Amino acid sequence: MARILKTAAIQTSYGMDLDANIRKTADFIRQAADGGAQVILPSELFQGPYFCVAQEERWFATAHPWREHPCVTALAPLAGELGVVLPISIFEREGPHYFNSLVMVDADGSLMGVYRKSHIPDGPGYMEKYYFRPGDTGFRVWDTRFGRIGVGICWDQWYPEAARAMALMGAEALFYPTAIGSEPHDETLDTAAPWRRAMQGHAVSNVIPVIGANRTGFEPWDGYPGGGQRFYGSSFIADHRGDLVAEFGRDDEGVLAAEFDLDFLATHRAAWGFFRDRRTDLYGALAGPCPA
């Protein structure tokens, strides 16, 4: 009997109210589960607005230990009720340290552990280094009820090394929660297409499905009249060829879904030989300083 993985990605907007954001996400999770989805991906930091647009210390009060985060305590029981796997993106506090993290919840509602975002961006509108330490968990894959999945968070998705590492660890699908949109320093810069292409490349190079969930909508910057961030949506699911099998536009809200035969993909991955033909003896430059 074939092992079929049924995936889903949620694209929606979010506001200031934590409880309202959780309820909105829960409604979409129920919708996805009603459609047969087994692993359902909300976008990055859906607990509230994407606050990293500026450096404001008030946002540190919205971080919680990962087991106690309101998004986790509210949605883990829902995962158990519906029998679905939920990768839940959170702002995590561990003692004096703060991370952009993801808690993996299995289909029985159990907490499988935490992944902390490895690559932390810093630039206009995306000032994450003020808030988050670089992750200390290393890349992680999870043996969920429905398959072995790897998860990166937003800026992680631009790095082929992260995708390859998770594939080498046995990931059968890659999931990326995201919050990305306009670039406040350059109104002409639109990264929606390369954002997709980078992850479609991961799919091709690792013969693996890739699921990207981005938020959408305009979020005004509190205290900055006329300023704000417009998130470009464009969430998608790509198959092992990098072809888009499900996609949203910039302003859509809802659930994307697609399913994959994991046994077929394992055979197809072996047949391509990308892992057989690796030359680790030549890859030292990847882990060291730039070669001369």
Catalytic residues: 44, 117, 154
Give dist(CA 187, CA 197) in Å, integer. 21
Q: Are strands 111-116 and 97-105 parallel, antiparallel or unpaired?
A: antiparallel
> Are 160 and 286 a contacting pair, CB within 8 Å?
no
Give dist(CA 292, CA 281) in Å, integer. 18
CA distances from 126 to 17, 259, 290 (A): 21, 33, 26
Number of CB atoms found within 10 A of residue 80's CB:
16
DSSP 144-212: ETTEEEEE--GGGGG-HHHHHHHHHTT-SEEEEEE--B--TT-TT---HHHHHHHHHHHHHHHT--EEE
Q: Name residues whose C-beta falls within 8 Å of residue 133's C-beta, 6 or more positions apart in sequence.
A: 97, 98, 99, 116, 120
Q: Are strands 4-11 and 39-41 parallel, antiparallel or unpaired?
A: parallel
Helices 160-168 + 192-206 axis angle, to 10: 30
Give dist(CA 222, CA 208) in Å, integer. 40
